[in-house]
Chain A
Amino acid sequence: MQAPASSSNPGYFGPYGGRFVAETLVAALDELTAAVDSIVHGKEFQKEWRDLLANYVGRPTPLSEATRLARAIDPESKLISRLFLKREDLCHTGAHKINNALGQVLLAKKMGKKRVIAETGAGQHGVATATACALFDVPCEIYMGAEDVLRQAPNVERMALFGARVIAVTDGSRTLKDAMNSAIRDWVTNVKDTYYCIGSAAGPHPYPSLVAELQTVIGEEARAQIIDRTGGLPDAVVACVGGGSNAIGIFRGFMKDESVALYGVEAAGEGLNSTRHAATLTKGRVGVLHGSKSYVLCDDGGQITEAHSVSAGLDYPGVGPEHAWLKDTGRARYISATDQEALAAAQLVAQTEGILPALETSHPFAKLTDVATELAAKKAGPKTLLLCCSGRGDKDLETLMRAREERA
């Protein structure tokens, strides 16, 4: 299913997207764009990739109904009748990131690239890329902010076990933005033989479209599954938005279903009125970061400001261009959850459903009441909600345990 991109201007979603990169990368992006057409859209690639999704990743992922959680949030079923979780946390390696990483590394291999690099925040994309590179026998180097190396330590160890080299980035805020700066510098230097595997639906054209396409499997499956289970469409689909890949993946399955409201949940960190948040679409302005025009967090002088979130995967001052367009057109709505709300939601989900969500994923869990309340204002009656459970929280144990001690 195609997003509302303008066909006369490939690489753009309304005024957003494009290719704002050093000239050195332009030919490589042309090469990649051509390869998406000739390889990714070809029968052979689709067959191999779908086979991997089924027999290696474990797709289709289940759709779980979260009844105890729904009743914990809304005991009398006034707002929420049924709540479904699309279980990307059950993917091999623990998050949706593997759908994209396997697709891109398979593409890299078919393009004859000798080396793969990636940036990572939570480490899930790094782990997924390292996994795919182990499977396809390609050398792999992962850039990760030094702060994230500390707070997502289990994922750093997993990457090392898969044979990847993890490079800790000590510039700037030492998080995802800085990891991406370093990955881009590496790519500019080694562009001839190196494939840059971007982990979210962001970056210069064709990455936002390519990553969205590889994640659309989430939305396609979820739509068929929920119709099968409930006989109809959900009233709303809710997902967290860092760069926006799991959200765009599930949204694209429902883009043409106008009755389905789409909600993206960003990280409000320590609060939207503080300077410590990562709510790019809610509080940012139009700008250019990491190769595309979209919303960014920056000051009046155009300097990018440091983002903050307890969740490393949402701790990013940019967002994919398709989300900027969905926001402007009103097709999707973007709200945010604070660190504390997300931490509390993680605990609640664990205790009511026996599912430990990633801190990224805990953000939409924290906003289910808000979403249902907003929907009720438009149309009476309890609603069916679908949440993209993008990943599991094993990597966040230390942060979660610390939060638990602080509350106790």
Chain B
Amino acid sequence: MPFSDPTADGPAIARASQRAIQAGGGLDATLRAAKEIRAQSAAPIILFGYYNPILVRGEAKTVDDAAASGVDGLLVVDLPLDEGVELRTRAATHDMPIIPLVTPATLPSRLDQIRALDRKKIGFVYYVSVTGVTGAANANLNKAATAAAAVRAAVNAPVVIGFGVDGPEKARAAATGADGVVIGTAIVRRVENADSLDDGIAEVSSFLGEIRGALGPNG
């Protein structure tokens, strides 16, 4: 879900948002795309973005439309657990999780708060590997894996790791402490640098192939 002012994202994803908006993209277009993908694939779909487009479009309407489009969950990076009551309440009526983020700066009390929530409301926890924005080149995924494993135990829910996973090696390191790995900037960069749509698809497919290979049979 592109947003004009993505303050938790680094330059690559910020540029991608600008490209998408300039091409007429936005929440409506994202929901249409989700619906088209859902018609062809059973893969889970989670929409990632910021709160303002959802708020302006209408929280209840957006959640209803997302559910009808086959979306399985929402990740709203500027909506910490204490905010967005209407969105959360509506999402719960569809059993649609809103995935909470945990970062190296998160306090233990927050983990208790997450642990106390109904699992259906959160789906899983997204552990952010660094204090920083997306695309951080210096992410230490070994350290993040250890921290994520501790978070998983504390919240009693599956944990995925993201931020700074840019290749097979870091994916493998992250996977040692988590149930999944999130790759954003590394894919977005390949799309940005592609000469054509076909070229981009080929680049991304081969990149994801390498990652899957590194993660082993369950990748």
Q: For B51, what are the chain A residues with a Cβ–Cβ distance below 8 Å?
A: 20, 288
Q: For B102, what are the chain A residues with a Cβ–Cβ distance below 8 Å?
A: 23
Residue A300, interface by CB 8 Å: yes
- A23 B103 Cβ-Cβ under 8 A: yes
Provide a sorted-by-A list of 25 A–B residue pairs whose CB atoms are within 8 angstroms: A20-B51, A20-B79, A21-B80, A22-B77, A23-B100, A24-B8, A24-B131, A185-B8, A185-B10, A188-B7, A188-B132, A189-B131, A189-B133, A285-B56, A286-B55, A287-B56, A288-B52, A288-B55, A290-B7, A291-B78, A301-B53, A301-B56, A302-B26, A303-B4, A303-B21
Q: For A30, what are the chain B residues with a Cβ–Cβ distance below 8 Å?
A: 107
Q: What 0/1 pattern do residues 174 to 214 of A give for CB contact below 8 A with B?
A: 00010001001100111110000000000000000000000
Main secondary structure of the interface of B (DSSP, over half): loop
Q: Closest B-chain residue to A306, C-beta based?
A: B4
Q: For A18, what are the chain B residues with a Cβ–Cβ distance below 8 Å?
A: 83
Main secondary structure of the interface of A (DSSP, over half): mixed
- B105 A24 Cβ-Cβ under 8 A: yes
> Interface size on B (CB < 8 Å)?
39
Q: Give the shortest distance, in Å, between B18 (CB) and chain A (any CB).
A: 8
- B56 A298 Cβ-Cβ under 8 A: yes
Interface residues on A, range: 35 or more
Out of B55, B82, B131, which one reaches A19, CB within 8 Å? Answer: B82
Which B residues have a C-beta under 8 Å from some C-beta of A? Answer: 2-5, 7-8, 10, 14, 21, 26-28, 51-57, 77-80, 82-83, 100-107, 110, 128, 131-133, 136
- B52 A304 Cβ-Cβ under 8 A: yes
Q: Give the shortest distance, in Å, between B197 (CB) and chain A (any CB).
A: 24
Q: List A13-43 residues whose CB lies under 8 Å from chain B.
A: 18-28, 30
Q: For A296, what are the chain B residues with a Cβ–Cβ distance below 8 Å?
A: 52
Q: Give the shortest distance, in Å, between A178 (CB) and chain B (any CB).
A: 8
Residue A171, interface by CB 8 Å: yes
Q: Given A23-B100, A192-B105, A185 and B52 touching (CB < 8 A)?
A: no
Q: For B103, what are the chain A residues with a Cβ–Cβ distance below 8 Å?
A: 22-24
- A181 B7 Cβ-Cβ under 8 A: yes
- B56 A26 Cβ-Cβ under 8 A: no
Query: How long is the Cα–Cα vector from A56 to B82 in the complex, in angstroms?
Result: 41
Q: List A250-290 residues whose CB lies under 8 Å from chain B.
A: 285-290
